[in-house]
Structure 1
Amino acid sequence: MNTVHDESTSLDTLVEELRRGEETWAAMSLSARRDLLTALSEAVREHAREWVDAACAIKRLDPGSHLAGEEWISGPYALLGGIGALSETLAALEAGRSPLDGTRLSKAPGNRVAVQVLPHNLFDRLLLNGFRAEVWTEPGVTAERLRETAGLGQRTPRETGGVGLVLGAGNILSIAPLDTLYELFAHNRVVLLKLNPVTDPLLPVLTKVFARFVELGLVRIVTGGVELGSAAVAHPGIAHVHITGSVTSHDAIVFGPGEEGRERQARDEARLDKPISSELGGVSPTIVVPGKWSKRDLAFQAEHIVTQKLHNNGYNCIASQVLVLSEDWPQKDEFLLALRGAFAAATARPAYYPGSDDRCRAAVNDHPGTAEQIADGSRVLLTVPADGDIAFTEEYFAPVLAVTALPGQGQEFLERAAAFVNERLSGTLGANVVAHPRTIRGLGDGFTRFVARLRYGTVAVNAWTGVGYLTARATWGAFPGHTLQDAQSGIGIVHNGLLLGGTERTVVRGPFRPFPRSVLTGRFTLSPRPPWFVTNRTAAVTGSRLTAFAGRPGWAKLPGIFASALRG
């Protein structure tokens, strides 16, 4: 059975099937588990077009539009990357090696260790030239401890963790499958996956993709509303809950709905009697460090920030919501002019996510006289004071971007910006930083200290934090330390294809300028305009070719990818 409603007998049956599947999972060797991943990869590759067509139907996009590239890249491509990373980790463990063997480890600020996760191989160096990513450990975690624990649940595969419930996200369609894999391989839990009602049309595709896992009783995929979700959370056979969604949904699960739930939360009296992990979004910032930019820099970075906001029409947990500028930057007004132009020129798309139009109207109503309704009111640009605004504490989850400014330049601005985003904005999932390489070099160690001060699960410098999401060996989740009573952007991590313990954040770096202008910054890279940019006109072709490559990597596929990417 792949679809149930709220009948307790049906739920009982599913949980019992998974309990038997847990025994199967415990008995499976690492080699057999890798075979399952191979079958999963082949199934994703086979059904990738069907997946993207279903995604475009959900989001009311033309499958022939360049916007379909978002669904290729954040859908089957992302899942295939995760499968490949896990398969390599299992192969290392099976051979008696650490998954970190051959991986570059270095020192990071504050007694941390940095693990290079991008580029991971030669193909990464070619396809994502100029992009880098490191996973930073928590302070005090040593390289020796990392090596000894890498592999997590796959180091003791017979010690399973029961039945886990995954409450899937309704926006990015690789989230639920990737969360399912993390439960299986990081925690050795078999999975009851409940889809978000927005993504229910993806059920036939996911059923085909996970067919082998379903046959063996390792995964069950269900659809249903709040009643089913509540029954599954409360079911005594469920050992753990993982949710991707809003902090409101999290709090209702943990403490109960309505006023009674809020009172319980105030007393820190959880109603949930089992552990929960979560990824809950938040108010993500983009900090623009003042410097001397060319007109083409201003235009490109305006497109970059508009992408951070309008990718998936703003329905991303790490969509940039607050743009932080320097009041004293001589080019501030020129940059805002370029930003407004890029914001207005981005391709129109339907507001498919429930409540989006209402949230846009609320943003306008909350800011009388300072809200700019762009593109027939479907996008909202806010100018807000730095001393306080609702846009700093409420995630709009809609095409709404707030702009604020702080005094200072150089190191003074960095100190103010770090304090502002750490202390004034809700959530800790991701923060973006845009800075000219010459400015970064001039700031020296001060810029490194600034990055280390940002309390976010992913920090992206001259890149979007979404690159961290796409990097299979990177960690993904909130900055550690949140509690059930104040969950912010969530508790725990996912992705993490190396299966590392003791991690704190991922730091991504990208090229300030695309190829060929990158040579003028002193850091030559081959990366053109990235395919995830909302302005990339060949994103769908590039995305489909990248997906085919991720399914079966091969040198012969590279020329076609490069040709499409360079036209974007």
Structure 2
Amino acid sequence: MTSATTPDAPSAPAKRTPKTTAPELAEGERERLDRAIDELQVGAGTWAALTVAQRVTLLRAVRTSVAAVAEDWANTAAASKGLDGRHPLRGEEWLSGPYSVLGALDAYIETLSRLAKGTNPLDGVKVERGPGGRTRVQAFPLTGIDRFLLSGYTGEVWLEPGVTPNAARAAAGLAQRTPADSGGVGLVLGAGNITSIPVLDVMYELLAHNRTALLKVNPTQDALVPVYKRAFAPLIGAGLVRIVRGGPAVGEYLTGHPDLAHVHITGSATTFDAIVWGPSKGPGAAATTRRRRENRPRLKKPITAELGGVSPIIIVPGRWTDADLTYQAEHVVTMRLQNSGHNCIAGQVVILSSDWDQADAFRAALRRAYANAPERPIWYPGAPSRMHLATDAYPDALVLGDRVLVEIGVGDDASPLQNTEYFAPVLGVVTLPGTGQTFLDAAVAYANDELQGTLGANLLIDPVTETALGAGFERAITALRYGSIAINGWTAFGFITPTLTWGAYPGSTIDDVGSGIGVVHNALLLDRVERSVIRGPFRPLPRWIAGSLSLSKGGVGRVTILPKPPWFVSARTGAVVSEGLTRFRANGGTLGLVKTLLRAMRA
């Protein structure tokens, strides 16, 4: 970038009047925060003056800086979570950190490059009519390397009913269609659990909304601040991003700041309500109740949020082999135990058919997989107390060292499991009667009506059963009211795939926020998104080959080169494969990729 597009930061006045009140903050800290916002206001003008082509150049510089810090990023994140260099699950921090960000940058660069050339982000992308007046965008895979490395996985973005394919194309690009229209300065209250989230949320502020961004890092991620600053160095130097630390007092000061145009938070509904309405306990609780009654929110600016929920894992009865039972049990355990369960999208409630003749065999496989998964620290603040909530509610639960398995029996009260996002290694199993379409419809209704939140739902079904259900299966998927749906996959695949979208099912409001408001990621910059739908292979390599031979019986097997995905907690080579894939994403290199794939074959 030239000096014309990267002006020096303005000098700070010797004394200033605080923009908001926050008695817990020292005057010097208030001035520091005000100065950062002043610099971002200048940066908003800089950003609005850049052409889309210049923005592509800047994003490429960010990609270079992210690639340079990838190893430090993954190692710092792993150490902060108690995973040493030999821990078998340290690969999680490569995939959910720098890998995710590099993939997003590549996808955004492609979208903006198309816009800069005067072409549409959806040129060459299949856009078709979907169920119920929706439009479906075939958003994954879009590159040859993704088709190869992640063969068997596909992803669609479904737009809201009434959006036509032509309208989808016309709106693709969002704020990058009008780059000179500044969105001001946005506040990003960063997540505390997954290290890519704050970075991805900042990128979405810039690219979807033309807002420069002030990132307040969650205290759990303080160790990553030097890494974030190096990764964002091109944006920081241009005055487009500032990063600050601090606890609740800093957050309160910033959310009330008049010079910030928007707030985005990844966190809990409790924190969201405190920002919008005020504290629910203590001296301010009465005023909060009054504001709610009178519909006078304390927050005077728009807010978007991703807030988690209780995610279902629907097991559709079919005829599974012993290997299927073992593999899918490990799949379920991964959904719960990745990052020690400290995920907004962790699967929490397994919905099983009481009439499935293999239900007991699956339960046994699930218990084995849950017990055999590698041990790791429970590191997120408050997690032990939430685990105690589970064992208090279910004293007969199976406690396996650092994890809890709750199997709801006849007469048990399932409501604590249904309504508490434990954000810890607590997995529950509930049963419903029926098989086939009867069970599937009942499970969808249970997930929609009984489980808190609408962020993500997972569904496991063998290809013979899916084919037999036919249109009924697609109707059931359409009926699921979740912002991300994974069929024979985990919705975290949607999180890590930048051209898919991430966020709650539409309809939440500040009065009843549920799993949140709005979407992020969305590298195709699509408007009026309803959900993303991921489909994966039921069987890994080489077992899908045998499954494909059952075509005469109605089976449809998805081809994949993965014997076991590296994100499985049971993948023996998951750590080195995840690191290898990230290094390939960062730097390319055929030899390194071949070595990584050979290691993947030993997972």
Note whether the superposition's TM-score is higher than 0.5: yes
Deviations 1:170-222 (A, max 9, x none): 00100000000000000000000000000010000011111111111100001
Counterpart of 1:325 in structure 2 is 352
Shift of 1:39: 0.9
1:41-440 aligned at under 5 Å gives the runs: 41-258=63-280, 259-260=285-286, 261-369=288-396, 371-374=397-400, 376=401, 378-384=402-408, 388-440=414-466
Task: Provide, for residues 499-550 of structure 1, a one-character-per-residue CA deviation record: whole Å limited to 9, x for no partner.
Answer: 0001110000011111000112222322220011011121221112211222
- Shift in Å at residue 450 of structure 1? 0.5
Aligned identity (percent) is 50
Amino acid at match of 1:29: T
Aligned partners of 2:291, 2:418: CA distance in 1, in Å? 26
Separation in structure 2 between the aligned mates of residue 554 and residue 105 of structure 1, nearest angstrom: 33
Deviation, 1:65, is: 2.0
CA distance in 1, matches of 2:89, 2:324: 24
> 1: distance between equivalents of 2:344 and 2:524?
23
1:12 aligns with 2:34: yes
User: Any idea what SS the aligned residue of 1:540 has?
Assistant: helix
Unpaired stretches in structure 1, ≥5 consecutive residues: none
Q: TM-score, normalised by structure 2?
A: 0.91
Q: CA 1:249–1:561 in 2, change beyond 3 Å: closer, same or farther?
A: same
Displacement of 1:324: 0.4
Deviation for aligned residue 1:554: 5.0
Residue 444, structure 1, aligned to residue 470, structure 2: yes
**Segment of structure 1 superposing worse, 28-37 or 125-134:** 28-37
Given residue 481 of structure 2, which amino acid in structure 1 is its aligned partner? Answer: R
The amino acid across from 1:439 in the alignment is T
Larger RCO (CA under 8 A, 6+ residues apart): 1
**Distance in 2, Cα, partners of 1:8 & 1:176:** 22
| Matched residue type, 1:42 | T
Alignment equivalent of 1:542, drawn from 577, 595, 601: 577
Aligned partners of 1:567, 1:139: CA distance in 2, in Å?
45
Aligned residue for 2:602? Answer: 567
Report if the CA contact (8 A) 2:88-2:374 is conserved. Answer: no
Structure 2: give runs of 5+ residues left out of the alignment: 1-8, 10-23, 549-556
2:535 to 464, 484, 509: 509
Determine helix, strand or coil for the equivalent of 1:117.
strand
Distance 1:344 1:267 in 2: 51
Question: Per the alignment, in what secondary structure is the counterpart of residue 340 of structure 2?
Answer: helix
How far apart in 2 are the matches of 1:407 and 1:173? 40
Q: Is the counterpart of residue 475 in structure 1 residue 475 in structure 2? A: no
- Cα separation, 1, equivalents of 2:546 and 2:451: 35
User: CA deviation digits over 1:430-469, x for unaligned, max 9?
Assistant: 0000011100000000000000100000000000000000
CA contact (8 A) 1:519 1:525 kept: no
Matched residue of 2:601: which SS? helix
- Bigger Cα displacement from structure 2, 383-392 vs 517-526: 383-392
Post-superposition Cα deviations, 1:380-423, rounded to whole Å, max 9, x if no partner, equal 11122687411111111000011100011111111111111101
Task: Note the C-alpha offset of 1:321.
Answer: 0.8
- In the TM superposition, 1:492-503 aligns within 5 A as 492-503=518-529
Q: What is the CA distance between 1:36 and its match in structure 2?
A: 1.1
Distance 1:548 1:180 in 2: 23
Q: Secondary structure at the match of 2:261?
A: strand
Return the alpha-carbon distance in structure 2 between the equivalents of residues 98 and 418 of structure 1.
36
Residues of 2 paired with 1:219 and 1:452: CA distance?
A: 39
SS in 2 for 1:460: strand
Would the aligned equivalents of 1:184 and 1:191 in 2 still touch at CA under 8 Å? yes
Q: Please say if residues 158 and 530 of structure 2, whose CA atoms lie closer than 8 Å, have aligned partners that are also in contact.
A: yes
Deviations 1:14-60 (A, max 9, x none): 11000001111111111111111111111111111100111012101
- Which stretch shifts more, 452-461 or 7-16? 7-16
The 1:69/1:112 distance shift into structure 2, 3 A limit, reads same
After superposition, the C-alpha distances for 1:84-131 in whole angstroms (9 at most, x for unaligned) are: 110000000001000000101122211111111111111111100101
Contact 1:242–1:278, Cα closer than 8 Å, also in 2:
yes
Answer yes or no: is the 8 Å Cα contact 1:5–1:224 preserved in 2. no
Whose Rg is larger?
2
Distance verdict in 2 for CA 1:91–1:545, change over 3 Å = same
Whole-angstrom distance in 1 between the partners of 2:355 and 2:31: 65
* CA shift for structure 1 position 557: 4.2
Separation in structure 1 between the aligned mates of residue 339 and residue 219 of structure 2, nearest angstrom: 17
Q: Give the distance between the partners of 2:261 and 2:68, measured in 1 at CA.
A: 33
Query: Which residue pairs with 2:514 in the alignment?
Result: 488
Amino acid at match of 2:111: T
The answer to whether the Cα contact below 8 Å between 1:5 and 1:223 also exists between their aligned partners in 2 is: no
Equivalent residue letter for 1:542: V
Task: Map 1:445-460 to 2 at 5 A.
Answer: 445-460=471-486
State whether residues 26 and 158 of structure 1, in contact with CA within 8 Å, keep that contact through their aligned partners in structure 2. yes
CA distance in 2, matches of 1:76, 1:462: 25
Work out whether residues 484 and 491 of structure 2, in 8 Å CA contact, stay in contact via their aligned partners in 1.
Answer: yes
Q: Is the 8 A contact 2:150 2:560 kept in 1?
A: no
The question of whether the paired residues in 1 share the 8 Å contact of 2:40 and 2:240 is answered with: yes
Residue in 2 aligned with 1:465? 491
Q: Which residue of 1 aligns with 2:547?
A: 521
Q: Distance in 2 between matches of 1:383 and 1:547?
A: 38
Q: 1:267 deviation in Å?
A: 4.7
**1:539, 1:506 → 2: CA distance?**
26
User: Does structure 1 conserve the Cα–Cα contact (< 8 Å) formed by 2:505 and 2:530?
Assistant: yes
Shift of 1:555: 4.3
Supply the distance in 2 between the matched residues of 1:249 and 1:180 (Cα, whole angstroms).
19
The 3-state SS of whatever aligns with 1:323 is strand
Q: Is the 8 A contact 1:328 1:409 kept in 2?
A: yes
Aligned alpha-carbon RMSD (Å): 1.4
Q: C-alpha separation between the residues in 2 aligned to 1:343 and 1:267?
A: 48
Partners in 1 of 2:89 and 2:237 — Cα distance? 35
CA distance in 2, matches of 1:263, 1:512: 52
Distance, in Å, in 2 between the alignment partners of 1:324 and 1:262 is 37
In the alignment, the residues of structure 1 paired with residue 333 and residue 88 of structure 2 have an alpha-carbon distance, to the nearest angstrom, of: 16
In 1, the alpha carbon distance for the partners of 2:258 and 2:353 equals 53
